[in-house]
């Protein structure tokens, strides 16, 4: 019934023969007009120009703009259905950061800003939880990193249970001995003491010590043992491992990193302006460029400008982002930040979040534990997977929406 109501109310303007606006699509009873599509085309064209990218032909731009609007309308409807909303207090706070005089912001501009904030909250609620990073993903990424020194030779102590396989053993004997090793592992997993099981069944030289092999650098253990226990936490036990001599069960009893990895941390601050119906990307860049000139001339204070105008959670602290490790910001932001010397400001920088005025305050070499390094790598992987995950989620939301195409946008 809602779709029929929209048809009845808007059919009078759905005509391409006149100069009046007309409907080009309907999403869950919400119309999209030709005027909206052309306004979005202008924004896309502006963004591509700022990024130095080629601008597609007009028909392609119109299709792209329409599809973006359809996705947004579908997401806004999904937000309404799931209770995601931006209250008046949050809206007024955003308006105050966007405009020096909030009274100049029209009702329509406020509505556009509310929708932008709603879309942002909706994505923040739904997308991150869908990103899955496995321990093997983290391990692989850590091995590939070039900007930190990772200690690959920690001191470790392993527990060892060994079931020997004679060189002349038949296939049936090998199967029987493997089953013996697996039974020992199953007993340990059920809660039996590793050392007690080792004393009972192991054929290793460490049997009488409960399988303990002694604390030593990892490179003084067989490579097979190190690889089998590399991903284990202290106290965990490997699967049954086969070597030329027989079957092994290994426990990581203790691990101590003898060297501390270090990374270069950066302390930066920024002022963020989010382009909107009232503030174009070009205008945001111009405004931030003016802030930069005023700061460099000593006529303005960076922290105060951030508190008054930045549309970021860091605004109350003067835009200060604190000490951060590599990979904590989106690439387009971090690439610019990394080129700055302490005290330097960059020209206005465009990222997926808006336009930034970035200043580096200081840098330092900081120690980092293996756990911190793993967390840093995991966060970086999550960022890399965010866009792909977002697109899949957006397609899913759109798939649940009713979309009706009308006249072709012009």
Tell whether the model's pLDDT for residue 408 goes beyond 70.
yes
Residue 261 is predicted with a pLDDT of 66
**What digits encode the pLDDT tens for the residues 133-191?**
888 888 777 766 644 445 567 889 999 999 999 989 999 999 999 999 999 999 999 99
In a domain, 161, yes or no: yes
Same domain, 393 and 359: no
Same domain, 350 and 395: no
- Give the CATH number for residue 206: 3.10.50.40
Same domain, 362 and 393: no
Same domain, 82 and 22: yes
**Considering the entire predicted model, what is its pTM?**
0.52
In a domain, 146, yes or no: no
Same domain, 112 and 184: no
In a domain, 144, yes or no: no
**What digits encode the pLDDT tens for the residues 49-89?**
877 788 889 999 999 999 999 999 999 999 999 999 988 88
In a domain, 329, yes or no: yes
What proportion of the chain, given as a percentage, has pLDDT over 70? 90
Tell whether the model's pLDDT for residue 257 goes beyond 70.
no
Give the separation between CA 398 and CA 395, rounded to whole angstroms: 5
What is the extent of the structural domain holding 348?
262-368
Same domain, 280 and 252: no
Same domain, 7 and 126: yes
Say how many domains are in the chain. 3
Same domain, 279 and 248: no
In a domain, 377, yes or no: no
Same domain, 237 and 331: no
In a domain, 381, yes or no: no
Same domain, 198 and 272: no
Residue 14 is predicted with a pLDDT of 40
In a domain, 379, yes or no: no
- Give the CATH number for residue 103: 1.10.4030.10
- The residue-averaged pLDDT of 304-328 equals 91
Same domain, 19 and 126: yes
Domain boundary among 225, 256, 287: 256
In a domain, 378, yes or no: no
Same domain, 66 and 185: no
**What digits encode the pLDDT tens for the residues 378-401?**
887 888 888 889 999 999 999 999
Q: Is the dihedral of CA 33, 34, 38, 39 positive or negative?
A: negative
């Amino acid at each position: 019934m809602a779709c029929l109501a929209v048809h009845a109310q808007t059919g009078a303007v759905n005509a391409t023969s006149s100069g009046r606006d007309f409907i080009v699509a309907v999403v869950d009873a919400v119309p999209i007009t030709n005027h909206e599509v052309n306004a979005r085309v202008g924004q896309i064209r502006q963004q591509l120009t700022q990024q130095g990218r080629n601008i597609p032909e007009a028909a392609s731009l119109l299709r792209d703009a329409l599809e973006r609007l359809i996705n947004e309308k579908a997401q806004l409807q999904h937000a309404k259905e799931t209770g995601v909303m931006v209250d008046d207090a949050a809206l007024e706070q955003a308006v105050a950061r966007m405009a020096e005089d909030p009274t100049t912001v029209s009702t329509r501009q406020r509505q556009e800003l509310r929708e932008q904030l709603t879309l942002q909250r909706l994505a923040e609620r739904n997308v991150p939880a869908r990103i899955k990073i496995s321990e093997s993903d983290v391990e692989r990424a850590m091995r590939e990193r070039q900007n930190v020194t990772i200690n690959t030779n920690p001191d470790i102590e392993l527990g060892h249970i060994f079931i020997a396989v004679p060189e002349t053993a038949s296939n049936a004997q090998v199967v029987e001995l493997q089953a013996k090793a697996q039974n020992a592992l199953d007993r340990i997993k059920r809660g039996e003491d590793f050392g007690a099981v080792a004393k009972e069944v192991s054929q290793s030289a460490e049997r009488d010590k409960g399988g303990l092999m002694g604390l030593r650098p990892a490179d003084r253990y067989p490579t097979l043992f190190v690889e089998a226990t590399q991903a284990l936490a202290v106290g965990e036990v490997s699967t049954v491992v086969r070597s030329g001599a027989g079957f092994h069960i290994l426990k990581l009893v203790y691990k101590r990193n003898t060297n501390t990895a270090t990374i270069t941390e950066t302390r930066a601050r920024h002022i963020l302006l989010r382009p909107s119906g009232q503030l174009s990307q070009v205008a945001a860049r111009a405004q931030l460029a003016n802030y930069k000139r005023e700061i460099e001339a000593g006529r303005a204070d960076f922290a105060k400008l951030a508190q008054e105008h930045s549309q970021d959670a860091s605004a109350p602290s003067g835009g200060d982002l604190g000490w951060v490790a590599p990979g904590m910001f989106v690439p387009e932001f971090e690439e610019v930040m990394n080129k700055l010397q302490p005290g330097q400001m960059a020209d206005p920088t465009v990222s997926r979040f808006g336009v930034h005025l970035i200043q580096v305050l200081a840098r330092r070499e900081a120690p980092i534990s293996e756990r911190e390094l793993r967390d840093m790598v995991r966060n970086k992987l999550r960022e890399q997977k965010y866009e792909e995950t977002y697109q899949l989620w957006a397609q899913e939301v759109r798939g649940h929406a009713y979309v009706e195409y009308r006249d072709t946008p012009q």
